[in-house]
Each structure stands twice: as C-alpha cells, then as structure tokens.
Amino acid sequence: MRAFRKLIAAWSVAEEAALAVLVVGMVGLSGAQIVLRNVFKTGIPWIEPALGNSLLWITMLGALAATGARKHISIDLATHFVPARPKAALRAVTDGFAAAVCGFLARASWRYVTFMKEAGDAAFPGVPAWAAYAVMPAVFALIAARLLARAALALAEAARGAGAPPAPAPDSLSPANGAKPDGRADA
Amino acid sequence: MIAALTGILALCGAPLFAVFAAAALLLYAHADLDRSLIAAELGRLATMPLLQTLPMFALAGYVLAHSNASRRLVRLSRAAFGWLPGGLAIVALLACTLLTAFTGASGITIVALGGLLMPALLADGYGERFTLGLVTVGGSLGLLFAPSLPLILYGVIAGQISPEVTVDRLFLAGVLPGLMITLLMAAYGMLEGLRFRVARTPFSPRELGAALWAAKWEVPLPFVVLGGIYTGKLVISEAAVITAAYALAVEALIYREIPWRRLSGVIRESMVLVGGILVILGMAMAITNYLVDQEVPMLIFDAVQRAIRSRVSFLVALNLFLLAVGCVMDIFTAIVVIVPLVIPVALEYGVNPTHLGIIFLANLGIGYCTPPVGVNLFIAGIRFGRPIISIYRATLVFLLLLLAALAVITYVPGLSLWLAE
C-alpha cells in the first residue's frame, strides 16, 4: 500500500513537471520567435508546428490533471442539493460513465494514430505526426483508469455510508476558483 | 433514450467533456462515420494558432492572482480613487474588473480579491448586503475587456464561421459596453457610499506615490498589453506571450512571491483550466462538424423563423435563452457549444457577429450570478461562509442594474460597433 502511495505521489510530480516544461517551453519558443521575427526579420519554421503540438499536449495533460483534481468543467446541480451518501453513489455512476466514454475515446484516437502512422506525415522535422498525436489515446486511457478507480472508491463509500465525503464539493463547480493549494490527484 | 440518459448524467455532474464525447460517439455511429474522425477534430487544436494565447493569458492571470499583485492593485486604486464618495466600492470594482480581464475565469477573482475587499468594505461602514453583492458580482465584471479569455474563445470560434469576426475587433467592441457597466456599478457604489455615510479618505499624493512605487513592476503590464492591443502595435499572439513572460519574470524573479517550487503548482492549476476548456472544445468541434454536415443550423433557423419574425424579437429570445444557459453552464462551455449553432441563425436575422459576441459575453457574465445555480453565487457563499439565500438577496440590485445594461448593449449595436468599425 505504501509503495502504491509513493507511486501515485511520484506520478503526480511527473505530471506537474511535464506541464511546467511544456508551458515554460511554449513561452520560451514563442518569445524566441517574436524576437527573431521583429528584430532579425527571420524565423525558425519548425517553431509554429511545435507550438501547435505543445498546445495539444497541454490540453491532454491539463485534462488529465483536471481529472485528478476533480476540476473538470461540469454542471453539477446535484453536489449542492443532494446529501452525502446518495451523492457518493451518484459520483460512482457519473465517474463510471465518464470512464467508459474515455475508454471509447482512447480506442477512437488510437485508430486515428494508426492511420497517421500509415500516412507517415511529419509533425515537424524529426517528429512523425503520429507520435505527437499519440498523447490522445495515452491520456484518454489514463483518465479512464483514474475515473474507474475513483468510481470504485465512491461506490465503496456509498456502500459504507457514514464516511466523511472527501470530495471538495465547491471545487468541482468550476475549474476557475483556484487561489488555494489545489487537491492532489486522489486516484 | 440514450441521449436523455446522457443529459441526466450531465445534470448530475458528469464531466461535460465526457458528455459531449458520448454525444459525438453516438452521432458518428448513427451516421456511419469513422470514430477516429472525432480524434482528428481534437487533434485540429494543434492547427489553430490563436488558441495558443489561452494558456499564455491563463498562466499570467494565475501567476498574478497567486502573488500579492492584488494587494498592491487595491492599495494603488485606493490611493487614486479612495477620496471619491463610495471610494472603496469603486476601488473594489476596478480591482475586480482588471483582475477578471486578465484571468477571464471569474471564480478566481472572488477567491483572490474577496478576502481582501470584503473586510475592508465592512470596516469602512458599507452595508453587509451591498458588500456581499459587490464582491460576488465583481467576479464577472471585466469579461468584456482585453485580454479576457472568453472573448478570445468567441473570436476563435466565430472567426471560423464568419471571417469578419477577429479577436482584435472584439477587444475594441467590448470597450464601450464594458465601460458602461463599470460606470453604472461605480455610480451605484457612490450612492451607497453616501447612503451609509462612509467616511472618505482624504487624497494623499504621498500615499499615491508610495503605492505606485510598490507596484512599479506591475503597473506597466496593463499599459503595455492593453495599449499594444488597442493601438494595434502588438499582434494578439505576441501580446499573450509578452504578458506571460512578463508576469512570470516580475512575480517569480523580481518580487519572488511565487518561489520556483510553487511555480509548477500554479502552472498546473492554470493548465487544469485550459485543458478543461480545450478538451471540451475538441469534442464540441466534432459535434459541430456533424451538425453542420447535417445542416442543423439551417433547420434551427427554419424552426425559429416560424415563431420569430423580427430581429428585435430574435434578440429578446436570444437574451432569455442565454441567461438561462448562463446560469447552468460555465461561460467557456456555453461559448464552445452554442456559438456555432447561433451565429448562422443570427446572421440570417442581420445581427452583426461582432456585436453578437458582446451580447453573448454580457449575458453569460450575468448568468454567473443568476439564482438558483449561478456559479459565482456558490463560490461566494463558500468563500465568505454565508448561506446561499443571503447571497441571492445581496446580488439582487446588482443583477437588475446588469440586466438594464444588457438591454442597452443588445438594442444599441452602435455601442459595440462604433470603435470596432
């Protein structure tokens, strides 16, 4: 169990580090592009596609982190008006549903990646397009796994009943109300 | 049947991207389209350069919100405007507006500024109800000013349907309506200041100087960014990168209020927002692709046209619809999902799509604070530890004022279009 916890903590650090590298890299690359364009009247052609693909990676890793922090955008009327125990059951249902959908998405995007591999295009020099797009099936599979684990936990909680609900209810309302140390990945 | 089930799951709090993904998967299966096309639409995010401004501005906004920039901002505006009647109320408005313009997502404004402004306003003698209403509603002011993320998102999506819409023009279009709302709120704040006989702080050039000096690294940021954007000297993508790099440099290197160790956490938090929005956008693009293919916008137009004849009644109906949408859905999802369907219809009624953008944002911003389920109401309730009913009451007058402003914005297109054209 302890080893498992460690693994999860290490994973969370890796996820955060990957996002930080991507974002700081984007700032650096586009900054360089601006200087090159305006001062030296030139540019590096691979920067544009690299930035575009970074955005796709940020989108996917951001979505993965949002799953961990329970901060996916949702409508979420229920969290405010439903008592704790049925709420856990409800969470098990919605998480299970989302996990299933993500499973299908992983398969669909894997198909897309194999098509791209056959086509053999390059995202930018040295990097084939399929490798850049491979982030989609990988992340959707991870999200599915994460949601599935959480659905199981919620189910256990609903069955057990009087457990303190660990879900930060206000946070799941909107991804936009940060300013406090956000919850670590909980599954 | 499955569609209804998915809808119920959405209302129960299933992540919206999964709900839209389910819809896309079902629609594509129904139309015998290959499912991999959904992934292709998501992958198209990589080919839309304007979207790259979203993580940049979001990063800057979160970095500013996590540093003491808000403290310095409040001190500076207090030194500049505190002597007016209702001075601190106006300070609160300006601070909220500026921070929301930069963070776009309005929840964070309440969290970052509310704790600072609420006790100060109460200590100055403003009524509890007014104060609570002000800090709650304050979280959705400023959406119409550059570089607001929802405005950029509208520009990206609308620009694909109607090329005359550009982010630059939207930024210009938002200026006068945004100013009108700010002035209206400021006037109300002044009245309340007089009503509660709030003592005015005398103007002190020395304090203004000291406050300016304390914020000397941050004060240039809005001038560089907004000045650059509004004068056309900076392309929006350049402004975004400069804002992010500048905010990082100032808060992490100069003030050192966000140590490197915490920086990755702040980055992660801002990218949770960006990833959450963009993954929904990807799924919505897949759905839109199908709907446009099936000519659904034209079907909607035909249906709407039977009930609604004139442009004015179309706008009335649109306002009611968007207000309803705004109170159950967050602004980003609403834009991503509804804009592609509404724009073709609105164009048929002769509504200018740039003007439409301002109408959209004004509506959805109000929806944030509309009972029973406006998101800001809950955030404020939790942030300030008040029951939700008292928040409803507190925001009532503000809501009425905002609705009046919305009516003007909707029925006087010139207000939005004068600067943009």
**Contact A108/B375, CB-based, under 8 Å?**
no
What pLDDT is recorded for position B401?
A: 94
The structure's pTM equals: 0.86
Dig out the tokens for A129 from the structure: 């397009």
Residue B212: inside a domain: yes
Among B279, B280, B373, B379, pick the best mutation site for testing chain A contact (most A Cβ within 10 A): B279
CA-to-CA distance for B319 and B30, rounded, in angstroms?
A: 33
- Cβ atoms B27, B292 nearer than 8 A: no
Q: What is the pLDDT of residues A98-144, one digit of tens each?
A: 999 999 999 999 999 999 888 878 777 778 888 889 999 999 999 99
Mean pLDDT computed over B199-228: 85
Min Cα distance B85 → chain A (Å) is 31
pLDDT value for B68 = 84
Give kind and range of the element (H or E) at residue B254: none
Q: Mind listing the pLDDT tens digit for each residue in B316-367?
A: 999 999 988 887 777 888 898 889 889 988 998 999 999 999 999 999 888 8
How many domains, in total, are found in chain B?
1
Listed as own residue / partner, the contacts of B381-388 with beta carbons closer than 8 Å and 24 or more positions apart are B382/A170, B383/B110, B383/B111, B383/B114, B383/B115, B384/B114, B384/B118, B384/B132, B384/B135, B386/B132, B388/A80
Per-residue pLDDT averaged across B207-231, rounded? 84
Q: What pLDDT is stored for residue B4 in this prediction?
A: 81
Q: What is the pLDDT of residue A62?
A: 94
Kindly state whether residue B21 falls inside one of the protein's structural domains.
no
Task: Output the CA angle A12-B247-A182, nearest 5 degrees.
Answer: 30
Q: Which domain holds residue B84?
A: 33-417
Would residue B3 count as lying in a domain? no
Residue B9 counted as domain residue:
no
Q: Is residue B19 part of a domain?
A: no
Residue from the list A71, A91, A112 with its beta carbon closest to the beta carbon of B39 = A112
Mean pLDDT of B293-314: 85
Q: What is the ipTM of this complex?
A: 0.83
Identify all chain B residues contacting A75, using CB atoms and an 8 Å cutoff: 10-11, 13, 16, 328-329
Under 8 Å between Cβ of A145 and A95: no
Q: Give the separation between CA B41 and CA B312, rounded to whole angstroms.
A: 36
DSSP of B127-161, one letter per residue?
A: -HHHHHHHHHHHTTTTTTSTT-HHHHHHHHHHHHH
The per-residue pLDDT for A178 is 35
A183 pLDDT band, cuts 50/70/90, is very low
The residues in B 296-355 lying below 8 A from A, measured between CB atoms, are 328-330, 332-333
Is B58's pLDDT higher than 90?
no
Is residue B166, in this structure, part of any structural domain at all?
yes
- How close A173 gets to chain B, by Cα (Å)? 7
B264 Cβ neighbours under 8 A, 6+ residues apart: A16, A17, A19, A20
What average pLDDT does chain B have? 87
Q: Is the CB of residue B357 less than 8 Å from the CB of residue B103? A: no
Residue B2 lies in a domain: no
Section B263-280 average pLDDT: 89
Q: Residues B355-389: pLDDT tens digits?
A: 999 999 999 888 888 877 677 787 788 778 888 88
**pLDDT at residue B334, as a whole number:** 87
Domain contains B190? yes
B12 and A172 in contact by Cβ < 8 A? no
Residue A61 has pLDDT above 90, yes or no: yes
In this complex, the residue of A107, A136, A178 whose CB is nearest that of residue B269 is: A178
> Do the chains contact at A73 and B276, CB–CB below 8 Å?
yes
Chain A residue at shortest CA distance from B281: A59
CA distance B243 to B255: 16
Q: Which of B333, B282, B287, B279 is nearest to B26 (CA)?
A: B287
Does the distance separating the beta carbons of B111 and A173 come in below 8 Å? no
